[in-house]
Structures are given as C-alpha cells and as structure tokens.
Amino acid sequence: MEKRTTHFGYQEVPFEEKASRVADVFHSVAARYDVMNDLMSLGIHRYWKRLTIERAAVRKGHQVLDIAGGTGDLALPFAQRVGTEGRVVLADINESMLRVGREKLLDQGVGGNVEYVQANAECLPFPDNHFHCITIAFGLRNVTDKDAALRSMARVLRPGGRLLILEFSKPLHQILSRVYDEYSFKVLPRIGEWVAGDADSYRYLAESIRMHPDQETLKSMMESAGLERVDYTNLTGGIVALHRGIKL
C-alpha cells in the first residue's frame, strides 16, 4: 500500500508527520509572533483582522469559535462584542501559541467569557450546530487535511452561522507577485533570523503560502464542505483573501 504524503512547505512528507512539523515551527516562533506579524506585514495585518471582525457581525450573547486563534488578535475584540452573555472559544492545536494567547488576553483584562481549548481543526471537540460564528485567520494553510477541517467547522456551525477564513492567497497582478516573491524568500527569512533567531521557520511560512489553494479553489472547497453563499474579498492586491460562507 502506497504511503500517503502531503506538503510541508515545498517538501513532501508522510501525512502523519506534518502536524508535528508545523507544531515545531510554532513552538519556535510563539514568543515573538506578534512582533513578527507587525514587521512582516508592516502592520497591515491589523487592518485585515479588523475587516474580518466587522464581517463576522457577532452580537451580544453569541457563541464564537476562533480556530488557530494563536495570540488572540480576534478573540479579544470578539470577547468584547459578545459580552458576558456570550462566549468565545480560542482554539489552537499548538500549546505554546495557546499559552501566549491566554497570557495576552488576561493581561488585557479579558476573563470569564473566553475559553481556551487545545484542538485539531480536523476533528473539533464541540457539539453539532453550536457556534454562531467561526473564524480561522492564517491557520488553514498549516492544516494537514483542509477538507476534513472545513467539514468539521461546518458541522459545529449552527444553521445561519458564518465561517470566515482569512488567509494568504494569490496576488492578482504579475508584477506584485514577483515583488512579493522577492520579499517572501529573501527578506522574510532574514527578518526571522534577526528578530526570532529562526530563519527556517519563516522560510517554511513563505513556502506554505505558495502551496495554499487559490481564491477560487478555496471557495469550491468551502462549498463542498456544505457551506453556501460563499464569497471572498481580495485584500492588498490578493496577497490575502477573506472568504465567507453561511451554513443554511
């Protein structure tokens, strides 16, 4: 029987090894993750995330799941919006990222309406038809079986609920694509080495972006998982796209 493989950046690795390799990357970068996000995107990631929060349209009393929630950039404003009547679950497969996120939110005074869960997106440990809104920002490309993860998200989303996926995508213009490649493969690893002492992890992150499905492919994958009225918005020339789907 042929052994199943998948990609880890540009490498082909055994299917069952990818999760542990991705875990090693994020254990390495967790402590400097927020600083690196600001440096890598020149702060633009904050705009992308604000738009995601606005499009999520959560209200007081809502149940929200933020998958691959990392250091809490979405969970924090969600917690403020759902209020004490609601609940936000910050879920991440990586213990180091989850710990950094928990400490950050506690430092911001966020407490009783946020729950922290170490979870794999492919098999979410939540009941069917439960959340009003699910978000995953810059995490789907690191998931081994993306189709399984999308089905799992659709399962725990309640009818009428929204799934929003914020992720790097394919630039719309050839010149922008060339400039972006130069930055990603030459500048980004050097910044990673300088700030986080880890060039290899940021080289992997650049490669993982190139291996992620493009805008239309991800839209089709969401539809196949059972989501409807799927659309997407290209941001910063398609370097990032925000996909949104509804469970009817």
Binding site as annotated, residues: 71, 92, 120-121
Say if residues 240 and 233 touch (Cβ distance below 8 Å): no
Which residues face 136 on adjacent strands?
A: 67, 165
Backbone angles phi, psi at 70, to 5 degrees: 50, -120
Q: Nearest-5° angle of CA 42, CA 43, CA 46?
A: 150
Question: Residues within the annotated binding site for S-adenosyl-L-methionine?
Answer: 71, 92, 120-121
Residues 6+ apart with CB under 8 A from 81: 53, 58, 59, 60, 62
Say if residues 113 and 84 touch (Cβ distance below 8 Å): yes
Backbone φ/ψ region at 151: left (φ over 0), alpha (ψ -120 to 50), beta:
alpha
Say if residues 88 and 64 touch (Cβ distance below 8 Å): yes
Rounded to whole angstroms, how far apart are CA atoms 248 and 228? Answer: 7
3-class SS of residue 99? helix
Name the nearest CA neighbour of 212 among 182, 176, 184, 245: 184
Rounded to whole angstroms, how far apart are CA atoms 219 and 204? Answer: 24
3-class SS of residue 56? helix
Q: What tokens were used for 177? A: 């694509």
